[in-house]
Every structure is written in structure tokens, then in C-alpha cells.
């Protein structure tokens, strides 16, 4: 009797399970916990890495190749003058609180972002907007004051996601969007949990039932968590020296891709001797980018000669404009009147990539007779105060993670103190150019100007060292926009 019962129970339990059920939950590790979950009121990358495309959606999205794709707007027309954008919206889309999404929400979200009181970190996205009209619930007409070549692209950013008027104010703690996942819980200091949105308008694309983001700052702990299976994926591993180990391990997929982070050693162009372009070029000639990347990031990371991400279709390789050449560096320094040596300082943040790069730079500079002294500077607080706001520095080093941010070299009060009217005009023109080919040509030209002028030592693109369980499919290899988009992620089998 017992035996028969057992058999029956066994049969029942077996038949209750679908054959070869694939896993439907995913644990993603991140080094930094986001401060709040609203990408429209704060800048940190970590906010986007949890929320963008998972919780919130914009009119358009950036895909894994860095291209603009329709999302909440299923299509759009741009008037021939380039000033009027007419968006046709997806219908039947609902916010996570059950309320319907329509053109009024788009108007609300953008008006909120461009309001004088708004604290949107990328307000310039909305600066060209003259008016927003909503002729019907499924149509939005945006009129611009001036043409903007990157307008659609910017609308794909986290700063331009659509939020609802009823919930916008509390999104930082209790996010409500239209995305494939709903916010479930946030154990601050530890994890954010998301659950599949059953009413999602593209339900068929979503395979996962739940996603957990865990925050583990220590690099060794990240590796331990991956090996123990506590975490399924670490899209940005903090331990480059241990990455090669994962590349050899068949249980894991380890992919070295690119981020949008240009790592540059800013030079204070308003200060002697950096006001002399010969000195700036000499310092660039003194840098062996390959050796630097080897030492600072275990050889991962692409060398850059200007300030543009290799992920961007308008990227041109400018690393040969001022190549590694010790003799030339010495000659240029002599010409500039520093043949007997030069003593300068570098304010270096505590992040491993920055402090290691600073040490290597110091050694490389010594080769050409430049004494580069390192001053450790706490990031972000002290660095923002001293370097960014007060511009009290000689050389500094930091990675700029915003996509398409070459215009920072065109800003008057930016910390580089770089002034080049030709460059400024060119970048402004590029931003207004709606024809893609013409715009890309202008960006290429702008990249070359920076490469020759060296307002900063252009070092390397911060790599994205992704490690995940070999059975996890669909994670991004590069991040053309800061994100951990898990919409189409699934487990094999």
C-alpha cells in the first residue's frame, strides 16, 4: 500500500513538472547601488542599470548596437524643415499601476523635465523643444526651436523615459513605468527585486518571471558570488585581473565589450604650462596607451585618441594622431622651454582604474623628464569640489560615462578650461545637422581637432567586463547606453 502510494506520488510529481523546465529567474550583480530608482531626476549610471528598458520605457529606445528603435512611439515623421516631429504612439499600453498610457503622459513627462524647477540631469535634451501638442491620445507633435540632429537619439536615454503624472513624484522609491518588469521590493543596501509585468504590451518577448539586482561593491566578493552561483550574471565585473580566469571556465561566458566611458587625464588648459599646446602634445607622446591598459585594466579596454566611444557609429580611430614617442615628447618639451624638466601634479580619484592609471602615467612621464606627483582625491565629493567646480588642479583622471558627450569640450566653464572657437562652432553645428552622414562627418572632424589639441590625455575606453552563466542568453556585450536591459534575456535548455 505504502509502496503504491509512493509510486503514485512520484508519478504525480513528475507529471506536474514540464520536461526540462528552463529557469525563469535571474540574479544580476552590480557594483554600486542606485541612489533612488528615478532616472529623470539624478545622473548616476546605477539608476539606469536597474531601471532603463526594464521598468521604464521612452518613446524610442537605443538597441544593443547603439541605434535608435521605436518603443512607445511605433513610428514618427519628421517634417522636411526638421523642426516638427509627429510621433504615433503604441495603443493599449498600461503603466504598472493599471492606468493607461497616452499622449498626455508624454507631454507631462517632457514638460516636467524641461520645467525651470526640474532636476533632470540632461536637461539639454529638452532645450530645443518649443511646444508639445497632443491632437489625440495616440499622437504627440513636438515642435523644435532649432533643428537637432540627436533629438531622437536623446529621447532613447533614461532621462527621457515616460512617467505618469500620478506617480512621478514617488518614482525614486516606488517606480511605476510601462516596462516589461514591475517593481517588487528594494532591500536597501542589498537588492532590488522586479517581477514580470503580466500586462506588458510586448508580453511575448519576455521570458523571465523575476529579476533581482544585487549590489556587491567588493571585487573579490563579486567573483565569490558568481562562483558560488549566488549571482547569475555580473555585466560589469570589478576585477579585471580575475576576468581571464572566467574566460577559461566553460561554466561561464566572459565577454569584454565597450562602455561609453572615455577615460581621460584632463589637463588644465588655463594654467601654465598646459596653456602651451606643445606641452600637452608632449605629454600625450609620452603615454604608451597599450602598456597603460595592460597595467590599469589587465589589457582590457580599447585605446582612444579622442573623446568618442567606439560604440558610436560616428567614431573614428585617432590613436595615431599623437602616438607614443618618447624622443618627440622630449623634443617638444625642450622647444616649449621645459628641457630641464617639469614638475606637475595629478589629482587622482580612488577608483582602481584611476589610481592605477595615475601611477603608470607618473612612471611614463618620468621617462621624458616630467615629475608627475599623485594627489589622491576622494571621488565624487572632493573631486567635484576641487577639480570640477573650482578647477584647482594640473592634471586629473576620470572616466566620462555619458554617451555622446563630446560637447563638454565646447562648454565655457567646464573643468578642462579648454577654449577652441572652431571646435565649439563645429560641435554646435553637428548637433543641429539632421542629415546623418553630414552629422557624422562633423563629429569625425571634431574628434580630430581634440586629438591634435590634446585638452586631455586620451587614454582608453573603459571596458565592460561581463561574466554570466553560460546558459544565460540575451545580455548585452557592449553598453552603448548605461543599462542592464533584461527584456529578452532567457535561460537555455
**Could you list the residues that contact other proteins (CB under 8 A)?**
33, 35-36, 38, 41-44, 116-124, 172-173, 187-190, 214, 216-218, 220-221, 224-225, 228, 230, 380-382, 384-386, 388-389, 398, 400, 402, 405, 408, 413
The residue with cell 506588458 is 200
Find the shortest distance in angstroms from Cβ 35 to other proteins: 3
Of 1 and 228, which CB lies nearer to other proteins in the complex structure?
228
| Whether the Cβ atoms of residue 469 and residue 232 lie closer than 8 Å to each other | yes
CB of 161 to other proteins, least distance (A): 17
Shortest distance in whole angstroms from residue 301 CB to other proteins: 20
* Cβ proximity to other proteins, 92 vs 116, nearer residue: 116
Least distance between other proteins and beta carbon 229 (Å): 12
Which C-beta is closer to other proteins: that of 291 or that of 384?
A: 384
Q: Nearer to other proteins by C-beta: 83 or 172?
A: 172
Q: How far is the CB of 185 from other proteins (least distance, A)?
A: 10
Residue whose CB is less far from other proteins, 158 or 273: 158
Nearer to other proteins, 69 or 119 (CB): 119
- Give the residue with the Cβ less far from other proteins, 119 or 202: 119
Q: Return the number of the residue (202 or 217) whose C-beta is nearest other proteins.
A: 217
**Closest to other proteins by CB, 76 or 388:** 388
Nearer to other proteins, 32 or 444 (CB): 32
- Of 113 and 426, the one with the shorter C-beta distance to other proteins is 113
The cell for 472 is 544565460
C-alpha cell at 118: 526640474
Q: How far is the CB of 281 from other proteins (least distance, A)?
A: 25
Question: Shortest gap between Cβ of 272 and other proteins (angstroms)?
Answer: 25
> Is the CB of 377 or the CB of 490 nearer to other proteins?
377
- Taking the complex as a whole, the smallest distance from the CB of residue 36 to other proteins amounts, in Å, to 5
Separation of alpha carbons 128 and 392, rounded Å: 33
Q: How far is the CB of 413 from other proteins (least distance, A)?
A: 8
Residue where the block lists cell 518614482: 171
CB of 381 to other proteins, least distance (A): 3
Shortest Å, Cβ 169 to other proteins: 9
The cell for 374 is: 599623485
Can you give the three-state secondary structure of the chain, one letter per residue? CHHHHHHHHHHHHHHHCCCCCCCCEEEEEECCCCCCCCCCCCCCHHHHHHHECCCECCCEEECCCCCEEECCEEEEEECCCCCEEEEEECCCCECCCCCECCHHHHHHHHHHHHCCCCCCCCHHHCCCEEEEEEEECCEEEEEECCCCCCHHHHHCCHHHCCCCCCCHHHCCCCCCCCCCEEEEEEECCCEEEEEECCCCCCHHHCCCCEEEEEECCCHHHHHHHHHHCCCCEECCCCCHHHHHHHHHCCCEEEEEEEEEEEEEEEECCCCCCCCCHHHHHHHHHCCCHHHHHHHHHCCCCEECCCCCCCCCCCCCCCCCCCCCCHHHHHHHHHHCCCCCCEEEEEEECCCHHHHHHHHHHHHHHHHCCEEEEEEECCCCHHHHHHHHHCCCCCEECEEECCCCCHHHHHCCCCCCCCCCHHHHHHHHHHHHCCCHHHHHHHHHHHHHHHHHHCCEEEEEEEEEEEEEECCEECCCCCCCCCCCCCCCCEECC
Largest CA distance in the chain: 100
Rounded to a whole number of angstroms, the minimum distance from the CB of residue 122 to other proteins is: 6
Amino acid at each position: 500500500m505504502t509502496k503504491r502510494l509512493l509510486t503514485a506520488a512520484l508519478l504525480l510529481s513528475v507529471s506536474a513538472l514540464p520536461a526540462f523546465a528552463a529557469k525563469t529567474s535571474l540574479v544580476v550583480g552590480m557594483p554600486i547601488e542606485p541612489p533612488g530608482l528615478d532616472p529623470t531626476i539624478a545622473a548616476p549610471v546605477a539608476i539606469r542599470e536597474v531601471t532603463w528598458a526594464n521598468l521604464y520605457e521612452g518613446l524610442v529606445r537605443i538597441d544593443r548596437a547603439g541605434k535608435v528603435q521605436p518603443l512607445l512611439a511605433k513610428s514618427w515623421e519628421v517634417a522636411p524643415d526638421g523642426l516638427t516631429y509627429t510621433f504615433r504612439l503604441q495603443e493599449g499600453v498600461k503603466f504598472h499601476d493599471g492606468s493607461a498610457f497616452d499622449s498626455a503622459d508624454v507631454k507631462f513627462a517632457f514638460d516636467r523635465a524641461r520645467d525651470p524647477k526640474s532636476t533632470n540631469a540632461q536637461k539639454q535634451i529638452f532645450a530645443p523643444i518649443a511646444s508639445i501638442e497632443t491632437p489625440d491620445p495616440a499622437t504627440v507633435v513636438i515642435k523644435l526651436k532649432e533643428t537637432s540632429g540627436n533629438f531622437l537619439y536623446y529621447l532613447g536615454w533614461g532621462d527621457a523615459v515616460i512617467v505618469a503624472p500620478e506617480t512621478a513624484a514617488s518614482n525614486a522609491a516606488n517606480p511605476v513605468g510601462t516596462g516589461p518588469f514591475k517593481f517588487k521590493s528594494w532591500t536597501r543596501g542589498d537588492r532590488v527585486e522586479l517581477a514580470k509585468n503580466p500586462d506588458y504590451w510586448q508580453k511575448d518577448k519576455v521570458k523571465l518571471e523575476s529579476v533581482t539586482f544585487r549590489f556587491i561593491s567588493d571585487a573579490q566578493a563579486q567573483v565569490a558570488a558568481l562562483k558560488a552561483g549566488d549571482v547569475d550574471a555580473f555585466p560589469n565585473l570589478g576585477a579585471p585581473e580575475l576576468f581571464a580566469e572566467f574566460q577559461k571556465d566553460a561554466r561561464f561566458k566572459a565577454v569584454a565589450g565597450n562602455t561609453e566611458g572615455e577615460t581621460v587625464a584632463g589637463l588644465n588648459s588655463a594654467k601654465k604650462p598646459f596653456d602651451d599646446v606643445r606641452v600637452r602634445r608632449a605629454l600625450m607622446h609620452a603615454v604608451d596607451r597599450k602598456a597603460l591598459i595592460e597595467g590599469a585594466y589587465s589589457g582590457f579596454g580599447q585605446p582612444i585618441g579622442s573623446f568618442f566611444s567606439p560604440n558610436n557609429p560616428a567614431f573614428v580611430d585617432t590613436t595615431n594622431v599623437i602616438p607614443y614617442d618618447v624622443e618627440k615628447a622630449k623634443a617638444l618639451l625642450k622647444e616649449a622651454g621645459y628641457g630641464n624638466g617639469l614638475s606637475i601634479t595629478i589629482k587622482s580619484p580612488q577608483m582602481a582604474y584611476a589610481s592605477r592609471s595615475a601611477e603608470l602615467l607618473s612612471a611614463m612621464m618620468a621617462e621624458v623628464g616630467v615629475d608627475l606627483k599623485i594627489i589622491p582625491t576622494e571621488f565624487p565629493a572632493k573631486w567635484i569640489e576641487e577639480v570640477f567646480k573650482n578647477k584647482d588642479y594640473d592634471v586629473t583622471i576620470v572616466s566620462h560615462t555619458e554617451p555622446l558627450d563630446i560637447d563638454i569640450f565646447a562648454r565655457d566653464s567646464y573643468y578642462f578650461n579648454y577654449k577652441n572657437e572652431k571646435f565649439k562652432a563645429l560641435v554646435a553645428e553637428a548637433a543641429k545637422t539632421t542629415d546623418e552622414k553630414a552629422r557624422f562627418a562633423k563629429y569625425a572632424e571634431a574628434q580630430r581637432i581634440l586629438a591634435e589639441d590634446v585638452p586631455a590625455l586620451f587614454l582608453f575606453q573603459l571596458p565592460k567586463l561581463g561574466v554570466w552563466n553560460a546558459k544565460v542568453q540575451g545580455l548585452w556585450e557592449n553598453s552603448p547606453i548605461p543599462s542592464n536591459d533584461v527584456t529578452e534575456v532567457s535561460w537555455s535548455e
